[in-house]
Protein backbone atom coordinates (compact mmCIF):
# COMPACT_ATOMS: atom_id res chain seq x y z
CA UNK A 1 0.00 0.00 0.00
CA UNK A 2 1.37 3.41 -0.93
CA UNK A 3 2.18 5.87 1.80
CA UNK A 4 -0.47 8.30 0.52
CA UNK A 5 -3.16 5.67 0.99
CA UNK A 6 -1.72 4.64 4.33
CA UNK A 7 -1.68 8.22 5.59
CA UNK A 8 -5.17 8.93 4.24
CA UNK A 9 -6.57 5.72 5.72
CA UNK A 10 -4.81 6.18 9.07
CA UNK A 11 -5.76 9.83 9.50
CA UNK A 12 -9.31 9.14 8.30
CA UNK A 13 -9.70 6.27 10.76
CA UNK A 14 -8.43 8.45 13.60
CA UNK A 15 -10.74 11.29 12.58
CA UNK A 16 -13.75 8.98 12.18
CA UNK A 17 -13.09 7.55 15.64
CA UNK A 18 -12.73 11.05 17.04
CA UNK A 19 -15.91 12.24 15.31
CA UNK A 20 -17.91 9.24 16.60
CA UNK A 21 -16.76 9.98 20.14
CA UNK A 22 -17.50 13.67 19.61
CA UNK A 23 -20.99 12.92 18.30
CA UNK A 24 -21.73 10.72 21.30
CA UNK A 25 -20.34 13.36 23.62
CA UNK A 26 -22.28 16.17 21.94
CA UNK A 27 -25.43 14.02 21.98
CA UNK A 28 -24.99 13.47 25.69
CA UNK A 29 -24.33 17.15 26.35
CA UNK A 30 -27.25 18.38 24.25
CA UNK A 31 -29.61 15.81 25.74
CA UNK A 32 -28.47 16.72 29.23
CA UNK A 33 -28.79 20.43 28.39
CA UNK A 34 -32.33 20.03 26.99
CA UNK A 35 -33.38 17.91 29.93
CA UNK A 36 -31.99 20.47 32.36
CA UNK A 37 -33.66 23.28 30.40
CA UNK A 38 -37.05 21.58 30.53
CA UNK A 39 -36.52 20.68 34.18
CA UNK A 40 -35.85 24.30 35.09
CA UNK A 41 -38.85 25.42 33.06
CA UNK A 42 -41.12 22.90 34.76
CA UNK A 43 -39.79 23.92 38.16
CA UNK A 44 -40.48 27.59 37.44
CA UNK A 45 -44.01 26.79 36.29
CA UNK A 46 -44.64 24.62 39.37
CA UNK A 47 -43.42 27.40 41.65
CA UNK A 48 -45.67 29.89 39.84
CA UNK A 49 -48.64 27.54 40.32
CA UNK A 50 -48.28 27.94 44.08
CA UNK A 51 -49.71 31.46 43.78
CA UNK A 52 -52.56 30.22 41.60
CA UNK A 53 -53.47 27.66 44.26
CA UNK A 54 -53.67 30.34 46.91
CA UNK A 55 -56.44 32.14 45.01
CA UNK A 56 -58.33 29.03 44.05
CA UNK A 57 -61.98 29.33 45.32
CA UNK A 58 -62.81 26.87 48.06
CA UNK A 59 -66.27 26.06 46.80
CA UNK A 60 -66.58 22.90 44.75
CA UNK A 61 -63.18 21.82 46.07
CA UNK A 62 -61.53 19.42 45.11
CA UNK A 63 -63.49 19.48 41.77
CA UNK A 64 -62.12 22.97 41.20
CA UNK A 65 -58.59 21.58 41.71
CA UNK A 66 -59.21 19.05 38.92
CA UNK A 67 -60.46 21.83 36.66
CA UNK A 68 -57.33 23.86 37.40
CA UNK A 69 -55.15 20.86 36.52
CA UNK A 70 -57.00 20.40 33.22
CA UNK A 71 -56.78 24.14 32.40
CA UNK A 72 -53.05 24.25 33.12
CA UNK A 73 -52.60 21.12 31.01
CA UNK A 74 -53.94 22.90 27.95
CA UNK A 75 -52.11 26.17 28.57
CA UNK A 76 -48.70 24.75 29.54
CA UNK A 77 -48.83 21.56 27.43
CA UNK A 78 -47.70 19.54 30.44
CA UNK A 79 -49.26 16.99 32.72
CA UNK A 80 -50.26 18.51 36.07
CA UNK A 81 -50.69 16.52 39.29
CA UNK A 82 -51.61 17.75 42.78
CA UNK A 83 -50.82 15.48 45.73
CA UNK A 84 -51.51 15.49 49.45
CA UNK A 85 -48.83 15.29 52.07
CA UNK A 86 -49.23 11.52 52.23
CA UNK A 87 -48.86 11.04 48.50
CA UNK A 88 -52.51 10.66 47.53
CA UNK A 89 -53.35 12.10 44.11
CA UNK A 90 -55.86 14.93 44.60
CA UNK A 91 -56.07 15.88 40.91
CA UNK A 92 -54.33 14.86 37.67
CA UNK A 93 -54.80 16.47 34.27
CA UNK A 94 -54.35 13.11 32.48
CA UNK A 95 -56.63 11.04 34.79
CA UNK A 96 -60.39 11.35 34.97
CA UNK A 97 -61.54 12.76 38.31
CA UNK A 98 -63.77 9.75 38.87
CA UNK A 99 -60.79 7.41 38.45
CA UNK A 100 -58.51 9.09 40.99
CA UNK A 101 -59.33 6.58 43.70
CA UNK A 102 -57.81 3.86 41.53
CA UNK A 103 -54.51 5.67 41.16
CA UNK A 104 -51.81 4.29 43.43
CA UNK A 105 -50.14 6.40 46.10
CA UNK A 106 -47.26 8.56 44.76
CA UNK A 107 -45.41 9.19 48.00
CA UNK A 108 -42.59 6.78 47.07
CA UNK A 109 -42.07 8.26 43.62
CA UNK A 110 -38.46 9.50 43.29
CA UNK A 111 -39.34 13.11 42.48
CA UNK A 112 -41.77 13.25 45.45
CA UNK A 113 -39.15 11.89 47.83
CA UNK A 114 -36.60 14.44 46.56
CA UNK A 115 -39.14 17.26 46.97
CA UNK A 116 -40.04 15.99 50.44
CA UNK A 117 -36.46 16.29 51.61
CA UNK A 118 -35.10 19.07 49.41
CA UNK A 119 -38.01 21.27 48.40
CA UNK A 120 -38.07 20.01 44.84
CA UNK A 121 -37.03 17.01 42.78
CA UNK A 122 -37.02 15.54 39.28
CA UNK A 123 -36.99 12.13 37.61
CA UNK A 124 -37.31 10.47 34.20
CA UNK A 125 -39.25 7.23 33.79
CA UNK A 126 -42.15 5.44 32.21
CA UNK A 127 -45.47 6.51 33.72
CA UNK A 128 -47.33 3.63 35.30
CA UNK A 129 -50.55 5.57 35.01
CA UNK A 130 -50.57 6.60 31.32
CA UNK A 131 -47.87 4.26 29.98
CA UNK A 132 -45.55 6.93 28.43
CA UNK A 133 -42.02 8.17 29.29
CA UNK A 134 -42.13 11.47 31.21
CA UNK A 135 -39.85 14.04 32.78
CA UNK A 136 -41.22 14.71 36.24
CA UNK A 137 -40.61 17.78 38.40
CA UNK A 138 -42.21 18.07 41.86
CA UNK A 139 -42.25 21.11 44.15
CA UNK A 140 -42.99 20.98 47.90
CA UNK A 141 -44.24 24.31 49.29
CA UNK A 142 -43.13 25.15 52.78
CA UNK A 143 -46.76 24.74 53.91
CA UNK A 144 -49.59 22.83 52.23
CA UNK A 145 -51.86 25.07 50.15
CA UNK A 146 -55.53 24.08 50.30
CA UNK A 147 -54.41 20.58 51.28
CA UNK A 148 -51.93 20.34 48.38
CA UNK A 149 -48.47 19.37 49.66
CA UNK A 150 -46.85 18.58 46.28
CA UNK A 151 -47.25 20.19 42.85
CA UNK A 152 -45.96 17.97 40.11
CA UNK A 153 -45.53 18.78 36.44
CA UNK A 154 -44.64 16.15 33.88
CA UNK A 155 -43.52 16.60 30.31
CA UNK A 156 -43.63 13.76 27.78
CA UNK A 157 -40.12 12.78 26.78
CA UNK A 158 -41.46 12.37 23.26
CA UNK A 159 -41.06 16.11 22.64
CA UNK A 160 -37.54 16.04 24.09
CA UNK A 161 -36.68 13.02 21.98
CA UNK A 162 -38.11 14.71 18.88
CA UNK A 163 -35.93 17.76 19.49
CA UNK A 164 -32.96 15.50 20.16
CA UNK A 165 -33.61 13.57 16.95
CA UNK A 166 -33.48 16.80 14.95
CA UNK A 167 -30.32 17.96 16.69
CA UNK A 168 -28.79 14.51 16.34
CA UNK A 169 -29.43 14.62 12.61
CA UNK A 170 -27.76 18.02 12.40
CA UNK A 171 -24.81 16.73 14.40
CA UNK A 172 -24.44 13.67 12.16
CA UNK A 173 -24.74 15.72 8.98
CA UNK A 174 -22.19 18.19 10.33
CA UNK A 175 -19.93 15.32 11.30
CA UNK A 176 -20.20 13.81 7.80
CA UNK A 177 -19.39 17.19 6.23
CA UNK A 178 -16.41 17.59 8.56
CA UNK A 179 -15.33 14.02 7.82
CA UNK A 180 -15.53 14.60 4.05
CA UNK A 181 -13.55 17.83 4.28
CA UNK A 182 -11.06 16.23 6.63
CA UNK A 183 -10.53 13.21 4.37
CA UNK A 184 -10.02 15.53 1.40
CA UNK A 185 -7.56 17.73 3.32
CA UNK A 186 -5.82 14.59 4.62
CA UNK A 187 -5.56 13.28 1.09
CA UNK A 188 -4.02 16.58 -0.04
CA UNK A 189 -1.57 16.50 2.89
CA UNK A 190 -0.68 12.88 2.19
CA UNK A 191 -0.18 13.76 -1.46
CA UNK A 192 2.04 16.68 -0.44
CA UNK A 193 4.11 14.29 1.68
CA UNK A 194 4.25 11.42 -0.78
CA UNK A 195 4.96 13.41 -3.96
CA UNK A 196 8.48 14.52 -2.95
CA UNK A 197 9.14 11.02 -1.60
CA UNK A 198 8.16 9.56 -4.98
CA UNK A 199 10.48 12.08 -6.66
CA UNK A 200 13.30 10.92 -4.38
CA UNK A 201 12.51 7.28 -5.26
CA UNK A 202 12.54 8.08 -9.00
CA UNK A 203 15.82 9.94 -8.56
CA UNK A 204 17.29 6.96 -6.69
CA UNK A 205 16.25 4.63 -9.54
CA UNK A 206 17.78 7.06 -12.05
CA UNK A 207 21.07 7.00 -10.15
CA UNK A 208 20.85 3.22 -9.98
CA UNK A 209 20.54 3.19 -13.78
CA UNK A 210 23.61 5.40 -14.14
CA UNK A 211 22.19 8.93 -14.35
CA UNK A 212 24.32 10.46 -11.61
CA UNK A 213 23.31 14.04 -12.47
CA UNK A 214 19.78 13.49 -11.13
CA UNK A 215 18.69 15.90 -8.39
CA UNK A 216 15.50 16.25 -6.34
CA UNK A 217 13.74 19.61 -6.53
CA UNK A 218 12.11 20.53 -3.21
CA UNK A 219 12.04 24.00 -1.70
CA UNK A 220 10.73 23.16 1.77
CA UNK A 221 12.81 23.28 4.94
CA UNK A 222 10.99 20.48 6.78
CA UNK A 223 12.24 16.94 7.30
CA UNK A 224 11.44 16.00 3.69
CA UNK A 225 13.36 19.06 2.54
CA UNK A 226 16.30 17.99 4.67
CA UNK A 227 16.01 14.48 3.21
CA UNK A 228 15.96 15.90 -0.33
CA UNK A 229 18.96 18.09 0.43
CA UNK A 230 20.85 15.13 1.91
CA UNK A 231 19.92 13.04 -1.13
CA UNK A 232 21.16 15.76 -3.49
CA UNK A 233 24.40 16.03 -1.55
CA UNK A 234 24.79 12.26 -1.69
CA UNK A 235 24.06 12.13 -5.44
CA UNK A 236 26.44 15.02 -6.02
CA UNK A 237 29.13 13.16 -4.11
CA UNK A 238 28.38 9.97 -6.04
CA UNK A 239 28.59 11.89 -9.32
CA UNK A 240 31.87 13.44 -8.22
CA UNK A 241 33.24 10.08 -7.12
CA UNK A 242 32.14 8.41 -10.35
CA UNK A 243 33.75 11.14 -12.40
CA UNK A 244 36.87 10.83 -10.31
CA UNK A 245 36.87 7.05 -10.73
CA UNK A 246 36.41 7.40 -14.48
CA UNK A 247 39.19 9.97 -14.59
CA UNK A 248 41.41 7.70 -12.52
CA UNK A 249 40.52 4.77 -14.74
CA UNK A 250 41.35 6.81 -17.81
CA UNK A 251 44.58 7.97 -16.19
CA UNK A 252 45.37 4.40 -15.14
CA UNK A 253 44.81 3.18 -18.69
CA UNK A 254 46.91 6.00 -20.07
CA UNK A 255 49.52 5.43 -17.37
CA UNK A 256 49.79 1.74 -18.19
CA UNK A 257 49.98 2.51 -21.88
CA UNK A 258 52.54 5.28 -21.40
CA UNK A 259 54.55 3.23 -18.93
CA UNK A 260 54.60 0.26 -21.30
CA UNK A 261 55.70 2.52 -24.09
CA UNK A 262 58.37 4.25 -22.01
CA UNK A 263 59.72 0.97 -20.71
CA UNK A 264 59.60 -0.70 -24.09
CA UNK A 265 61.93 1.82 -25.74
CA UNK A 266 65.02 1.40 -23.47
CA UNK A 267 64.40 -2.33 -23.12
CA UNK A 268 64.23 -2.71 -26.89
CA UNK A 269 67.39 -0.64 -27.28
CA UNK A 270 69.27 -2.68 -24.68
CA UNK A 271 68.05 -5.92 -26.26
CA UNK A 272 69.08 -4.71 -29.73
CA UNK A 273 72.57 -3.72 -28.64
CA UNK A 274 73.12 -6.97 -26.77
CA UNK A 275 71.87 -9.08 -29.67
CA UNK A 276 74.21 -7.21 -32.02
CA UNK A 277 77.13 -7.82 -29.69
CA UNK A 278 76.26 -11.52 -29.32
CA UNK A 279 75.94 -11.86 -33.06
CA UNK A 280 79.58 -10.94 -33.51
CA UNK A 281 79.82 -7.30 -32.65
CA UNK A 282 81.51 -8.19 -29.36
CA UNK A 283 84.61 -9.09 -31.35
CA UNK A 284 84.56 -5.87 -33.32
CA UNK A 285 86.55 -3.29 -31.39
CA UNK A 286 84.96 -0.51 -33.43
CA UNK A 287 81.42 -1.16 -32.19
CA UNK A 288 81.59 -3.21 -28.98
CA UNK A 289 82.44 -0.42 -26.60
CA UNK A 290 80.05 2.03 -28.27
CA UNK A 291 77.18 -0.48 -28.08
CA UNK A 292 77.94 -1.29 -24.48
CA UNK A 293 77.92 2.41 -23.61
CA UNK A 294 74.56 2.83 -25.33
CA UNK A 295 73.18 -0.22 -23.54
CA UNK A 296 74.37 1.18 -20.22
CA UNK A 297 72.84 4.59 -21.06
CA UNK A 298 69.47 2.97 -21.72
CA UNK A 299 69.80 0.88 -18.56
CA UNK A 300 70.44 4.09 -16.60
CA UNK A 301 67.44 5.67 -18.25
CA UNK A 302 65.36 2.59 -17.41
CA UNK A 303 66.53 2.69 -13.80
CA UNK A 304 65.67 6.39 -13.51
CA UNK A 305 62.23 5.76 -15.01
CA UNK A 306 61.53 2.92 -12.58
CA UNK A 307 62.67 5.06 -9.64
CA UNK A 308 60.35 7.89 -10.71
CA UNK A 309 57.48 5.46 -11.21
CA UNK A 310 57.98 4.01 -7.72
CA UNK A 311 58.17 7.48 -6.22
CA UNK A 312 55.03 8.86 -7.88
CA UNK A 313 53.18 5.65 -6.98
CA UNK A 314 54.17 6.05 -3.32
CA UNK A 315 53.09 9.71 -3.33
CA UNK A 316 49.69 9.00 -4.92
CA UNK A 317 48.96 6.03 -2.65
CA UNK A 318 49.85 8.04 0.47
CA UNK A 319 52.62 5.63 1.34
CA UNK A 320 55.17 8.43 1.21
CA UNK A 321 54.66 10.45 4.39
CA UNK A 322 55.52 14.11 4.49
CA UNK A 323 57.59 15.32 7.45
CA UNK A 324 56.15 18.83 7.76
CA UNK A 325 58.18 21.13 10.03
CA UNK A 326 59.82 24.56 10.00
CA UNK A 327 63.20 24.87 8.28
CA UNK A 328 65.44 27.56 6.76
CA UNK A 329 64.60 27.77 3.06
CA UNK A 330 67.63 30.00 2.34
CA UNK A 331 69.93 27.18 3.35
CA UNK A 332 68.04 24.89 0.98
CA UNK A 333 68.42 27.48 -1.80
CA UNK A 334 72.17 27.75 -1.28
CA UNK A 335 72.56 23.95 -1.32
CA UNK A 336 70.56 23.66 -4.55
CA UNK A 337 72.56 26.48 -6.14
CA UNK A 338 75.86 24.86 -5.29
CA UNK A 339 74.67 21.42 -6.49
CA UNK A 340 73.68 22.72 -9.96
CA UNK A 341 76.24 25.47 -10.48
CA UNK A 342 78.79 23.28 -12.19
CA UNK A 343 76.19 21.68 -14.48
CA UNK A 344 75.07 25.06 -15.76
CA UNK A 345 78.69 26.14 -16.25
CA UNK A 346 79.37 23.02 -18.32
CA UNK A 347 76.51 24.08 -20.62
CA UNK A 348 77.74 27.70 -20.72
CA UNK A 349 74.56 28.99 -19.05
CA UNK A 350 74.40 31.72 -16.46
CA UNK A 351 72.92 30.52 -13.17
CA UNK A 352 71.80 33.18 -10.71
CA UNK A 353 70.42 33.02 -7.16
CA UNK A 354 67.95 35.80 -6.34
CA UNK A 355 67.65 35.45 -2.57
CA UNK A 356 69.21 37.03 0.52
CA UNK A 357 72.78 35.83 1.01
CA UNK A 358 72.59 36.00 4.81
CA UNK A 359 70.05 35.43 7.55
CA UNK A 360 67.30 32.85 7.47
CA UNK A 361 63.67 32.53 6.35
CA UNK A 362 61.77 29.71 8.00
CA UNK A 363 58.87 28.03 6.19
CA UNK A 364 56.66 24.99 6.86
CA UNK A 365 57.32 21.92 4.76
CA UNK A 366 59.18 18.70 4.16
CA UNK A 367 62.73 19.88 3.43
CA UNK A 368 63.81 16.77 1.53
CA UNK A 369 60.70 16.68 -0.67
CA UNK A 370 60.97 20.40 -1.41
CA UNK A 371 64.62 19.86 -2.27
CA UNK A 372 63.45 17.32 -4.81
CA UNK A 373 60.98 19.89 -6.19
CA UNK A 374 63.81 22.39 -6.73
CA UNK A 375 66.02 19.66 -8.25
CA UNK A 376 63.29 18.66 -10.72
CA UNK A 377 62.54 22.26 -11.72
CA UNK A 378 66.24 23.10 -12.13
CA UNK A 379 66.86 19.86 -14.05
CA UNK A 380 63.96 20.71 -16.32
CA UNK A 381 65.34 24.23 -16.91
CA UNK A 382 68.82 22.84 -17.59
CA UNK A 383 67.53 20.37 -20.19
CA UNK A 384 65.40 22.82 -22.17
CA UNK A 385 67.58 25.93 -22.05
CA UNK A 386 70.31 26.16 -24.69
CA UNK A 387 71.27 29.81 -24.32
CA UNK A 388 70.88 32.58 -21.77
CA UNK A 389 70.32 32.02 -18.07
CA UNK A 390 68.41 30.24 -15.34
CA UNK A 391 67.34 31.98 -12.12
CA UNK A 392 66.46 30.37 -8.80
CA UNK A 393 64.67 33.05 -6.83
CA UNK A 394 62.60 33.81 -3.74
CA UNK A 395 60.21 36.63 -2.86
CA UNK A 396 59.70 37.11 0.88
CA UNK A 397 56.25 38.19 2.10
CA UNK A 398 54.72 38.57 5.54
CA UNK A 399 53.01 35.16 5.77
CA UNK A 400 54.41 33.31 2.78
CA UNK A 401 57.31 33.11 0.37
CA UNK A 402 57.16 32.69 -3.38
CA UNK A 403 59.72 30.35 -4.92
CA UNK A 404 60.41 30.53 -8.66
CA UNK A 405 62.65 29.11 -11.34
CA UNK A 406 63.01 31.19 -14.52
CA UNK A 407 64.76 30.23 -17.72
CA UNK A 408 65.33 31.62 -21.20
CA UNK A 409 64.69 28.31 -22.88
CA UNK A 410 62.39 27.24 -25.69
CA UNK A 411 59.20 28.03 -23.75
CA UNK A 412 55.92 26.12 -23.72
CA UNK A 413 53.11 26.67 -26.25
CA UNK A 414 49.93 27.99 -24.60
CA UNK A 415 47.85 24.96 -25.63
CA UNK A 416 50.18 22.63 -23.72
CA UNK A 417 50.69 24.60 -20.51
CA UNK A 418 47.73 22.98 -18.74
CA UNK A 419 49.03 19.47 -19.49
CA UNK A 420 52.73 19.63 -18.73
CA UNK A 421 52.15 18.34 -15.17
CA UNK A 422 50.52 15.15 -16.45
CA UNK A 423 52.52 11.97 -16.22
CA UNK A 424 54.56 11.21 -19.36
CA UNK A 425 53.31 14.28 -21.19
CA UNK A 426 55.97 15.90 -23.32
CA UNK A 427 55.72 18.93 -25.57
CA UNK A 428 58.60 17.63 -27.72
CA UNK A 429 58.95 13.87 -27.28
CA UNK A 430 62.04 13.53 -29.45
CA UNK A 431 63.94 16.21 -27.56
CA UNK A 432 62.77 14.88 -24.21
CA UNK A 433 64.21 11.48 -24.97
CA UNK A 434 67.36 13.09 -26.31
CA UNK A 435 67.97 14.97 -23.06
CA UNK A 436 67.01 11.95 -20.95
CA UNK A 437 63.70 13.01 -19.45
CA UNK A 438 61.28 10.44 -18.03
CA UNK A 439 58.19 12.61 -18.35
CA UNK A 440 57.45 12.28 -14.61
CA UNK A 441 59.49 15.10 -13.11
CA UNK A 442 56.79 17.80 -13.21
CA UNK A 443 54.09 15.30 -12.15
CA UNK A 444 56.19 14.51 -9.06
CA UNK A 445 56.56 18.27 -8.39
CA UNK A 446 52.79 18.70 -8.61
CA UNK A 447 52.07 15.85 -6.17
CA UNK A 448 54.67 16.94 -3.61
CA UNK A 449 53.38 20.53 -3.58
CA UNK A 450 49.78 19.30 -3.40
CA UNK A 451 50.76 17.47 -0.19
CA UNK A 452 51.94 20.89 1.07
CA UNK A 453 48.50 22.43 0.30
CA UNK A 454 49.92 24.56 -2.49
CA UNK A 455 50.08 24.46 -6.27
CA UNK A 456 52.70 24.76 -8.97
CA UNK A 457 52.08 27.45 -11.61
CA UNK A 458 53.71 28.22 -14.93
CA UNK A 459 53.84 31.29 -17.14
CA UNK A 460 55.58 30.88 -20.46
CA UNK A 461 55.93 32.36 -23.93
CA UNK A 462 57.03 30.12 -26.75
CA UNK A 463 60.72 30.76 -27.63
CA UNK A 464 61.00 33.25 -24.71
CA UNK A 465 61.44 31.00 -21.69
CA UNK A 466 59.31 29.89 -18.77
CA UNK A 467 58.70 30.75 -15.12
CA UNK A 468 57.64 28.04 -12.66
CA UNK A 469 56.57 29.25 -9.21
CA UNK A 470 54.79 28.20 -6.01
CA UNK A 471 54.18 29.53 -2.51
CA UNK A 472 54.98 28.17 0.93
CA UNK A 473 53.50 29.26 4.27
CA UNK A 474 55.86 30.71 6.86
pLDDT at 153 (0 to 100): 95
Dist CA 15 CA 21 (whole Å): 10
pLDDT digits (tens, 9 = 90+) for 177-233: 888 888 888 778 777 777 787 888 888 888 888 887 888 887 777 777 888 888 888
DSSP code, position 153: E
pLDDT at 434 (0 to 100): 53
pLDDT at 242 (0 to 100): 86
pLDDT at 430 (0 to 100): 53
- By residue count, the chain amounts to 474
Q: Which residue, among 447, 422, 441, has the nearest Cα to 320 in the 3D structure?
A: 447
Residue 464 lies in a domain: yes
CA distances from 117 to 113, 120, 121, 139, 141 (A): 6, 8, 9, 11, 11
Whether this prediction's pTM lies above 0.85 is answered by no
Residue 108 lies in a domain: yes
pLDDT at 435 (0 to 100): 54
From 108, 141, 163, the end of a domain falls on 163
Residue 243 lies in a domain: no
CA distances from 405 to 187, 364, 436, 467 (A): 71, 20, 20, 6
Residue 251 lies in a domain: no
pLDDT at 374 (0 to 100): 96
Four-residue CA torsion sign, 157, 161, 167, 168: positive
pLDDT at 369 (0 to 100): 92
Dist CA 99 CA 92 (whole Å): 10
Structural domain including 141 reads: 3-163
Helices (H) and strands (E) in the chain, counts: 10, 12
Dist CA 234 CA 237 (whole Å): 5
Give the dihedral of Cα atoms 343, 349, 355, 358; nearest 10 deg: 60
Q: Which residue stretches of the chain have pLDDT < 70?
A: 1-4, 59-60, 129-130, 251, 254-255, 258, 261, 428-438
pLDDT digits (tens, 9 = 90+) for 414-460: 888 888 988 878 776 554 555 556 678 899 999 999 999 999 999 99
Report the CATH number at residue 120. 3.30.450.20
Stated as kind and residue range, the H or E segment containing 91 is strand 89-92
From 163, 187, 217, the end of a domain falls on 163
DSSP string of 321-340, one letter each residue:
----EEEEHHHHHHHHHHHH
pLDDT at 370 (0 to 100): 96
Dist CA 201 CA 276 (whole Å): 69
Domains in the chain, number: 2
Beta strands in 93-242 (DSSP E): 120-126, 133-139, 150-156
CB distance 70 to 93 below 8 Å = yes
- Cβ-based neighbour number of residue 14 at 10 Å: 12
pLDDT at 42 (0 to 100): 92
pLDDT digits (tens, 9 = 90+) for 139-175: 999 888 888 999 999 988 877 777 778 877 887 888 7
Residue 272 lies in a domain: no
CB distance 472 to 411 below 8 Å = no
Residue 215 lies in a domain: no
Strand 465-473 with 457-461, pairing:
antiparallel
DSSP code, position 105: P
Stated as kind and residue range, the H or E segment containing 404 is strand 400-407
Residue 148 lies in a domain: yes
pLDDT at 151 (0 to 100): 95
418: left (phi over 0), alpha (psi -120 to 50) or beta: alpha
Dist CA 380 CA 432 (whole Å): 10
Residue 304 lies in a domain: no
Amino acid sequence: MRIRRKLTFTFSAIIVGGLVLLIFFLNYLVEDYLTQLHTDNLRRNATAMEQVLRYLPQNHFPRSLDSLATSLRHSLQVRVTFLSGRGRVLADSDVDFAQLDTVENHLRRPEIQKALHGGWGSDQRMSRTVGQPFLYVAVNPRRPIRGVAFLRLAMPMQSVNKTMAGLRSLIIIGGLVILTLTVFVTWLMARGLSSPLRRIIRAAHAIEEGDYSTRVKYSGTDEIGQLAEAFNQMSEKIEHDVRRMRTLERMRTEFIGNTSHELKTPIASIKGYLETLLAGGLEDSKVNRKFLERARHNADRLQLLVQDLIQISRIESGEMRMSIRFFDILELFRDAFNDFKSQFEEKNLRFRLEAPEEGEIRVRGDRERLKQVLNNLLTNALKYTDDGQVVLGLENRRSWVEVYVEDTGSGIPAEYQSRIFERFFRVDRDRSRAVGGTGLGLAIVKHILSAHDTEIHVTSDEHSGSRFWFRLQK
